[in-house]
Amino acid sequence: MSAIDIEKQAPATRQIVVDTLREQVSIWLFVFKTMLAFFLTGWIAMRLSLPAPSTAMLTTIIVANRQSGMVLAKSFYRAIGTLGGAVVAFLIVAAFPQQRDLFLVALSLWLGICSGGATLYRNFKSYAFVLGGYTAAIIALPVIDNPPGVFDSATARISEVLLGLLVSGVINDTVFPSRMRDVLRRTAREQFAHFVGFVRASTGGTIARSTMERAHLRFVRDAVTLEDLRSSVIFEDAEARARSGHLQEFNQRFMAASTSFQSLHHLINRLKRAHRDTTGEALIALYAPLGAALDAPIEAGAAARVLLPRLIGARDEMAAKAPLLREGMTDTQDVRDFDTGAALLRRFTDELYAYVDTAATLQAPRIIAGSAERVRFARGNDYAGAILATFRTTITMLALGVFWILSAWPMGSSAMLLATIFAGLFAAAPNPTRVTGQVMFGYLIGMIIGFVCEFAVLTQVDGYPLMVASIAPFLMIGLVMMTSATLGSIGLGYSMGFAYILAIKNPMVYDPVHFINDAIAQVVGLSAAAIAFVFVPTVIGSRWLRQRQLARLRGQVALAAEAPLPGLRHRFESINHDLVSQVVSQTEPGSADSRALLAWALAVHETGRALIELRHDLDRGTAPGGVRGYIDTALASLARFYEAPDAAKYLLARDAVATAIAAVSEKDASHGLLEHLHLIRMALLDGESVLAAYMPSAPLAQEISNAP
C-alpha cells in the first residue's frame, strides 16, 4: 500500500474512532444521569415519607431518554395525564363506591379510551393518555373496597409520579445536558442546505422520475422530523419557544416550495417525453438564472440572507427573459405549455424566496414576537386504529376484572396495572406483539435479577448509600441495553421489571411470598396485554390500514377541490406529508406498496396544489361570466376520480378539464385560470404517472397534441 493510500485512510480511521468515542460517552452519560435521577428520587421520596418510593423511582425509568428535551416533553405530558387520570379516578370511585362490577366496567372503558388516544397521537401527547389510564388504575384499584381512601391514594400517587418527573427534568436539564435545540438547529440547517442544493443542481434539465420519488421521500421525512423536533424542543428552551412559530412557518414554506418544484420538473419531463423539445428547452433556459442565483455558499450554518438579493435578481432576469423566449414560438400549443411552465416557475420562485427569507429570519439573533404567520402542522390520523385499540384494551381489562372478581385473587389489581401500562404503551407500535414479547422477556429477567438483588444483596447491607451501591450494578445492565437499537425493548423491560419488583420502601420489607405472588401477577398482566395483541391485532402497519391511508391520501384532492379556502394550503401540505410519512414508516422500502404510495403521493401533491391555486384565482373574481360552472364541474369530477379511481371516472375528469379549458379560452380569460387548468390536464395525461393505469391506449404524445 502506498503512502498516499495510508494518508487517505488515516482521516477516515480517526473519524471512526472519534464517532465511536462520542457514542460511548453519550451512552454512559445517559446511564449516569438516569441512575442519578433514580436514586435521588428514591432518597427524596423516603425523606418525605411517601408511601411508595418505588412508584416515583419507576417513573424516572419510564421517562428516561438520551436527549433532555425528550425527557421534558415526556414529563410535561405525563404530568397532564397524571392529573387527568386522578380526576377520572375520583369520578369513578364517586359514581360506583359499592358496585364493584360497574366500577370495573367504567375503569376498563376509561383505560380503553386512553389506549385509543395513545394510538391516535404518535408524538409525546400519547404519554398523556398512557398516564391518564395508568394513574386512574393505580389510584382507584387499591381503594376498590375502601372508597373513602381515594383521596389519600390520589395524593400519594400524584406526589410520587410528579416527584419522579420533577427530578428527571432537573437532572437532565442541568447535568451535562444534551440539548434537543442543537439537534433541531442542525436538522433545520440540513433541510435548508439539502433543498437549496438539490434545486441548484436540478436547473440543468430533466430529473428522472425515480430520482424525484427519492427526493420527495426525503422532503417528506425532513418536514415531519422537523415538526416532531419542534414540538419537543419548546419544553426545553425559552428561545426555541420564541422561535416556534417561525419554525412552523419555515416548515410550511418548505413543503409549499418542494411541491411547486416537483410540479415544475414533472411538467418539463412530460414535454421532453412528448418530444416538445422547443418548449422544454425554453423552460430550462428560463430556469437557468435561478440556478446561478443559488450558486453561493449554502452549507449548513451559512447565512441564508445572502441568497435573498440574488433571488430577486434572478426573478427580474426571468421576467425579462420570458417574453423573448415566448416570441420564438409559433405553435399555439407550445405557447400554452410555455405559459403554464413560466407561471409555475414564478410560483416556485416566489415560494423559494419566502422559504429562504424565513430561514434568514430564524438565523437572526433576535426575532420579533408575533411576526410569523400563524400556521399549524395538521396530522393525518386514522380513527379506525384508535377505535380498535380502545376495544382491545377495554376487553382485556374487563377479562382481567372478571377473573379477579370470580377468583378473589388478592394480586388481581397488580395484574391489571401492568396490563394497563403495556396495552397503552405499545398500542401504536407497528408490531406490538413482537415488542411486547421482547419487553416481557426483559421483564422476566429483570424480576429474576431483582429477586437475587433483594434477598441476596440488600439483606446484607444497611443505609441508603450501601443500597445504592448494591442496586446500581444490576440496574446499569438494563440502562445500557436501552441505548441499543436491537436490545432497547428488552432493556426497557429489564429496567422496569427490576425497578418495579424491588418495591423500594422505607423501611424496606423482605417478604419472599409476597415477592413471588407479585411477580406472578405482573407476568399475568404482561401476558394479558400480549395475548390481546394476538387476538385483536393492531392495524398499525397492516395492509388494511395502508389501503385506508392511501385512500385518505387520494381524498386530499377532494379536500383541495371542495374544502373552505382559508388555511387550506397549509392543511393540505401538512396532512399529505404526515400521511406519506406514516405509510412509508410502515412499509418495506422498495416494495410494491412503497412504490405505489410514492407514485400516488406525487400525483396528489401536484394536482391538489394546482386545484388550490385555481380556486384562489377563481375566488379573486378573475373568471369571466359563464365559465365558473365548467370549472366547478371539473373540480367535482377530479375529486370523485381521486376518491375512487377507475377508468370511467378518469375519462369524465379528463373531459371535464378539457371542456373547462375550452370554455375559459373562448371567453379570453386571464392566463392564470388557463395555466392552472392546463397543468392539471397535463398531469392527467402523464403516461409515467400512477394515473396511466386508467388511461385509454392512446400514446401520451398524441393525447397532449390533441389537448385543446
> What's the pLDDT at 383?
76
Could you read off the pLDDT of 425-443 as tens digits, one per residue?
A: 676 666 677 788 888 899 9
- The sign of the CA dihedral 599, 600, 604, 607 is positive
Q: How confident is the model at residue 374 (pLDDT cuts 50, 70, 90)?
A: low
> What's the pLDDT at 307?
86
Give dist(CA 314, CA 430) in Å, integer: 47
131-155 average pLDDT score = 85
Residue 98 has phi, psi (to 5 degrees) of: -125, 20
> What's the pLDDT at 427?
66
CB 568 within 8 A of CB 611: no
Q: How confident is the model at residue 622 (pLDDT cuts 50, 70, 90)?
A: low
- Domain architecture of the chain: domains with CATH: 11-178+380-535 (no CATH), 181-235+244-363 (1.20.58), 543-706 (no CATH)
The residue with greater pLDDT, 258 or 182, is 258
Residue type, 195: F
Radius of gyration of the chain from its Cα atoms, rounded to whole angstroms:
30
- The answer, yes or no, to whether residue 250 has pLDDT greater than 60, is yes
Q: What is the dihedral of CA 573, 576, 579, 584, to 10 degrees?
A: -100
Q: Which three cell numbers stand for residue 297?
A: 455558499
> What's the pLDDT at 540?
61
Q: Which three cell numbers stand for residue 689?
A: 404517472
Element at 395 (helix H, strand E): helix 383-407
Enter the pTM of the model: 0.74
The residue with greater pLDDT, 507 or 374, is 507
Q: How confident is the model at residue 143 (pLDDT cuts 50, 70, 90)?
A: confident
- The answer, yes or no, to whether residue 38 has pLDDT greater than 90, is yes
Q: How confident is the model at residue 277 (pLDDT cuts 50, 70, 90)?
A: confident
Q: According to the 3-state scheme, what is the secondary structure of 252-297?
A: HHHHHHHHHHHHHHHHHHHHHHCCCHHHHHHHHHHHHHHHHHCCCC
Give dist(CA 263, CA 433) in Å, integer: 41
> What's the pLDDT at 91?
92
> What's the pLDDT at 204?
64
Q: How many CA atoms lie within 13 A of 137 on its CB side?
A: 32
Q: How confident is the model at residue 690 (pLDDT cuts 50, 70, 90)?
A: confident
Give dist(CA 259, CA 351) in Å, integer: 10
Compute CA distances 366 → 38, 135, 137, 182, whole Å. Answer: 38, 42, 47, 17
**Sole residue written with cell 433532555:** 68
Calculate ∠ Cα 493-495-500, nearest 5°.
95
- The answer, yes or no, to whether residue 415 has pLDDT greater than 90, is no
The residue with greater pLDDT, 305 or 357, is 357
Give dist(CA 683, CA 681) in Å, integer: 5
Q: How confident is the model at residue 703 (pLDDT cuts 50, 70, 90)?
A: very low
Give dist(CA 499, CA 480) in Å, integer: 15
567-596 average pLDDT score = 75
> What's the pLDDT at 606?
86
Task: Kindly tell me the burial class for residue 148, based on how many C-beta atoms sit within 10 Å of its own C-beta (0-12, 13-18, 19 or more).
Answer: exposed
- The answer, yes or no, to whether residue 587 has pLDDT greater than 50, is yes
The residue with greater pLDDT, 212 or 90, is 90
- The answer, yes or no, to whether residue 494 has pLDDT greater than 90, is yes
DSSP symbols for 41-78: HHHHHHHTT-S-HHHHHHHHHHT--SSHHHHHHHHHHH
Could you read off the pLDDT of 454-482 as tens digits, one per residue?
A: 999 998 888 889 999 999 999 999 999 98
Q: According to the 3-state scheme, what is the secondary structure of 307-319?
A: HHHHHHHHHHHHH
Q: What b/e sequence results for 338-356 when a residue is b if at least 16 CB atoms lie within 10 Å of its CB, and e otherwise?
A: bbbbbbbbbbbbebbbbbb
Task: Kindly tell me the burial class for residue 390, based on how many C-beta atoms sit within 10 Å of its own C-beta (0-12, 13-18, 19 or more).
Answer: buried
CA neighbor of 393 nearest in space, from 538, 581, 512, 266: 538
Q: How confident is the model at residue 445 (pLDDT cuts 50, 70, 90)?
A: very high
Could you read off the pLDDT of 236-246 as tens digits, one per residue?
A: 666 666 777 77
> What's the pLDDT at 585?
66
Q: How many CB atoms lie within 10 A of CB 595?
A: 15
269-283, 380-394, 484-498, 579-593: the lowest-pLDDT one: 579-593
Q: How confident is the model at residue 41 (pLDDT cuts 50, 70, 90)?
A: very high
Task: Kindly tell me the burial class for residue 242, based on how many C-beta atoms sit within 10 Å of its own C-beta (0-12, 13-18, 19 or more).
Answer: middle
Q: How confident is the model at residue 300 (pLDDT cuts 50, 70, 90)?
A: very low
The residue with greater pLDDT, 444 or 530, is 444
Q: According to the 3-state scheme, what is the secondary structure of 451-515?
A: HHHHHHHHHHCCCHHHHHHHHHHHHHHHHHHHCCCCCHHHHHHHHHHHHHHHCCCCCCCCCHHHH
Q: Which three cell numbers stand for residue 239?
A: 428561545
141-150, 620-629, 699-708: the lowest-pLDDT one: 699-708
Mean pLDDT over all residues of the chain?
81
> What's the pLDDT at 205?
62
Q: Which three cell numbers stand for residue 115?
A: 389506549
Could you read off the pLDDT of 65-74 as tens digits, one per residue?
A: 776 666 766 7
Residue 427 has phi, psi (to 5 degrees) of: -65, -30
> What's the pLDDT at 541?
59
Query: Is the omega angle on the peptide bond into residue 51 within 30 degrees of 0, that is, cis?
Result: no
Give dist(CA 96, CA 99) in Å, integer: 5
Give dist(CA 627, CA 624) in Å, integer: 6
CA neighbor of 287 nearest in space, from 204, 197, 193: 204
Q: What is the largest CA-CA distance in the chain?
A: 97
Could you read off the pLDDT of 642-677 as tens digits, one per residue?
A: 998 888 999 999 999 988 888 887 765 556 788 888
169-173 average pLDDT score = 83
> What's the pLDDT at 670?
55
Q: Which three cell numbers stand for residue 705?
A: 397534441
> What's the pLDDT at 685?
84
Q: How far from chain centre, in Å, is Cα 344?
A: 30
